[in-house]
Chains A and B, each alone.
Chain A
Amino acid sequence: MLFTAPEFLLAFLPLTLAGFHLLRKVGRPQLCVAWLFLASTVFYAWWSPRFLILLLVSMLVNWACAHAMAGREGSSRKFLLVLGLTWNLGVLAYFKYADFLISSLDAVSSLDWPLLHIVLPLGISFFTFQKIAYLADIHAGHAKPGPLIDFALFVFFFPQLIAGPIVHHSEVMPQFREMAEKGKHPDYWLDSAVGLTLLLIGLVKKVCIADQLAPYAAKVFDRAGEAHLHIGLLAAWQGALAYSVELYFDFSGYSDMAIGLARMFGVRLPANFDSPHKSSSITEFWQRWHMTLSRFLREYLYIPLGGNRKGALRRYLNLMITMLLGGLWHGAGWTYVAWGGLQGLYLLANHAWRGLSAFRLPKPLAVALTLLAWMAALVVFRASDFSSATNILAGMFGLHGAGTPIAGVKKGTGLIVSAIFLAATVILPNSQQIMRRFAPVIAPVEAPRGPLRSVVWTPSGLTAALSAAAIIAVVLFSWGTTEFLYFQF
């Protein structure tokens, strides 16, 4: 079920909220958690009942491993961790990477194994990471296993089940226990108002901006693979710019929706985006883009690999391994690996420069350079293959001149519109900053600097009218809404 779908907005969400508040009012805290778990299973099963069973089994395996670990020490504890990790990574590897492995082997050998054409369970990359983090923390003694129903909701909680934010158990499980207890959470009207507003901001980002920009990018990327077609300067920049802005508004919009929906139930989620386009270095960019993935990769991959504790060379190697695997996490394809490798190279260059020279570019130039590097890498990320990516990148560097004319890319409209929205992401405050007076996410939110500091949401007649206009705009533009881009990862 898409957050933008009428069946979600008009039926699932109102029913789930009504049931939750009814149970909360009659003082049945555990039933509230159970209700949310049940609703979340319906949410997932709407897409595929078959894969709901997989997710339930996987949840039980992880919970059993966690409980078994809690009562043991030494090698048996480690064995259980390895068992749990093997299960999680095995499921992910089978569903996400089996065909990739087969096609890669076929390409370099004469094996010619047939592809399995396995359907990817929605959200598998996200919920697998959450469970891995949970098991690792139980093993390290940083957490204790709780009741099954709490763990079940941690795995299934529908606002962030499909595409994050990737939550840490210590962030949400205490909230699950608290949220349903009568009297502890008196201001659910405020939670509902804040959650509703964040949901609307996310919907506008997704439906009114990302989906409207998508055709501008698709017109270029869909044709870049044609052998006789050379992508020209204008078309290449339109494709790259439109996709960069589309991806940002799509995924940050989804994250706003997830944060808003969770808030309607009194749960605060971690921030996932913090105006990444304002970053003045690629290191800063990754601290602001898909923040919960960056955190997971840092805590559960980069640091266990040794982080920066074993010298500069090893640090760079660890960074590169982390980003390559981060790229592979995004998709089972060599373009994703190459994209991860590019991010690794950017980070190495950034760290090396900081170590070698005290010279820093003026901030506007640094922001522009970071954005350009990011956009160029996204071409590899979005392109269906390397020849398409090369075609577009060559066009961006002017190697094809005006290039082959492409239908729908003649007036530069896509380029101008995308540039306007890109500028907005650099200048305007983000969703968390607009909602900062009511602590929209777990961590404190800094106010924007400069004249936009006064832009802050409070319940008023004006904001109610803006929100009403937002939902009308969303409905007007929602026909033909596509899936969220990150659902495929």
Chain B
Amino acid sequence: MSARAYIGRFFALALAGFALLAALGLVVDGYGIFGTRLIPASRFPPNLRLLKHGDRVTKAIEIAERKGDRILFIGDSRTQHGLDPDSPALGGVKGYNAGLAAATLAEQIVTLDYGLAHEPGIKRIVWGLSYEAFPFGIPTTSDYGDSAFAGRSLVSGLLHHLFAYDRVVSSWKALLQARHKVRAAMKRNGVVTYGGDPVEGPAIAKMFESELAGMTRNISGPMSPQAIDKAHAELARRLTELKASGIDVDLVIVPVHIWRLEFFRQIGVEAQIEGWKRRLAAMVDQLALAPGTGRLRLFDFARPHAFVEQSVYAPPPAGERRYYLESSHFYPWLGDKVLAEVFGKPQEPETGAEAEPFGRTIGKGGGAISIDEDIASARAGLDLWEAAHRDDVGYVRRLISK
């Protein structure tokens, strides 16, 4: 074959290959961003959008395409999994969950800026805060760099959906599984939703054990105080700007499963977490005097309560739903209780231990408690739980020492 024919054959084959890939992506349109889907949405595999690197590219496109949101949820994967903008607590006000897996505070701020830039009508931010995601820079291992959050164009994002390896594989799987009428959950408004509990069973134990045993966790002791200082300063700066812009912000320290609270105590970070909460409370007090009409409030749900004390392994009590997917992420039905508190909506009355107030509003107004009271009661709650659950305490200890 001549060199000229070789080059001609190369281009012809390459173009044919790309055309096939593009056709696959458009026909399946697994992420619903092209509007060209030929397969019913109800037939998609369950984890299509739960990519191993998160779904920043998709979310950035969705945020840019959406219109009319008034509430924006910001946070890490706990927010992404657990706080549903379709919750009755929002009373029909349109919102979007911009939570991202493994998003640190630094990345959450980028997401917030991006969301506000694309929807000037946003008037309220629900900001899910986790101690674990607070002080780090933007991780380089995610797909952040490929997304519009990092300045990439939307065209690049759309091409990504047609030609990136993970998306092509997802589309191919979707195409194959659609033949078998797989019932699957999709995301809507940016929140991960489940038709059932798709990863319950043995997978729960595996995820829980591996995380607390340190195989996947990011922290094994106190974090850098300097990094925490820097993150606090950055958060204060951004909150000041939001207040000046007249945007309300609800800082929500998201629920933490009791075994994880015990884990924090045992690895010696409980005091650092308490210090972190105190500084958040002080920041909210201080910013009350800052110029602007935006309202700033702080809620603490990272404390012992019957809702977070359900066993991850055992079936939930009769008539109750499991609140935790595994020790890290809670389901939206627990998130609904959080949002009901934040939005001040009446909830169905609970009975027994669950009738105790779940989250606490931190501050000075009616119904609020001081941060000192909050911390003291949370600590006492964990002491009580430890005394009543010696086996569980030993179990967490054994996992840590693995």
Which A residues have a C-beta under 8 Å from some C-beta of B? 187, 189-190, 192-194, 196, 215, 218-219, 228-229, 404-405, 407-408, 410, 458-461, 463-465, 467-469, 471-472, 475-477, 479-480
Contact = CB atoms under 8 A, between A and B. Distances in A.
A464 B220 contact: no
Interface of B: 1-7, 9-10, 13-14, 16-18, 21, 140-141, 143, 145-146, 160, 163-165, 168, 210, 213-218, 220-221, 402
Given A189-B4, A229-B220, A476-B168, A468 B215 contact: no
Nearest to B169: A476
Contacts, number: 86
Contacts of A458: 1
A480 B164 CA distance: 10
B221 A228 contact: yes
B165 A468 contact: no
Taking chain A's interface residues, is the majority helix, strand, or loop, or is none over half, making it mixed?
helix
A229 B18 CA distance: 45
Query: Which 5 A-B pairs have CB atoms at the shortest separation, nearest pair first?
Result: A459-B6, A468-B13, A464-B9, A193-B3, A405-B214
B6 A193 contact: yes
Contacts of B17: 468-469, 472
Contacts of B145: 480
B359 to A, nearest CB: 29
Nearest to B222: A228
B7 A465 contact: no
Contacts of B14: 467-468, 471-472
23 contacts: A189-B2, A189-B3, A190-B3, A192-B3, A193-B6, A228-B220, A228-B221, A407-B218, A410-B215, A460-B1, A467-B10, A467-B14, A468-B13, A468-B14, A471-B14, A472-B17, A472-B18, A472-B21, A475-B163, A476-B165, A476-B168, A477-B165, A479-B164
B1 A459 contact: yes
Contact of B7 (A189, A218, A228): A189
Nearest to A192: B7
B30 to A, nearest CB: 16
Contacts of B21: 472, 476
Nearest to B20: A472
Contacts of A408: 216
Nearest to B4: A189
A480 B146 contact: yes
B13 to A, nearest CB: 4
A219 B14 CA distance: 35
A410 B18 CA distance: 36
A408 B141 CA distance: 11
Contacts of A228: 220-221
A128 to B, nearest CB: 29
Given A193-B7, A407-B216, A468-B13, 16 more contacts: A189-B2, A190-B3, A196-B10, A218-B141, A228-B220, A404-B214, A468-B14, A469-B13, A469-B17, A471-B10, A476-B163, A476-B165, A477-B165, A479-B164, A479-B165, A480-B145
Max chain B C-beta neighbours (<10 A), residue from A468, A476, A477, A479: A479
Contacts of A461: 1, 9
A371 B140 CA distance: 29
A189 B7 CA distance: 8
Nearest to B142: A480
Given A192-B3, A407-B216, A479 B13 contact: no
Contact of A218 (B140, B143, B146, B220): B140
A190 B140 CA distance: 41
Given A228-B220, A464-B13, A405 B215 contact: yes
B10 A476 contact: no
A32 B21 CA distance: 38
A467 B3 CA distance: 13
A196 B6 CA distance: 10
A464 B6 contact: yes
Nearest to B221: A228
A219 B139 CA distance: 11
A407 B7 contact: no
A119 B18 CA distance: 39
Contacts of B9: 461, 464-465, 468
A326 B138 CA distance: 33
> Which of B7, B10, B21, B218 gathers the greatest number of chain A CB atoms within 10 Å?
B10
Contacts of B146: 479-480
A219 B141 CA distance: 9
Nearest to B224: A226
A98 B299 CA distance: 49
A459 B2 contact: yes
Contacts of A467: 10, 14
Contacts of B160: 479
A7 B91 CA distance: 47
Nearest to A477: B165
Given A190-B3, A193-B7, A228-B220, A215 B13 contact: no
Nearest to B8: A464
A429 B4 CA distance: 26
Contacts of A459: 1-3, 5-6
Nearest to B160: A479
Nearest to B159: A6
A477 B4 CA distance: 28
B215 to A, nearest CB: 5
B3 A215 contact: no
Contact of A460 (B6, B13, B165, B402): B6
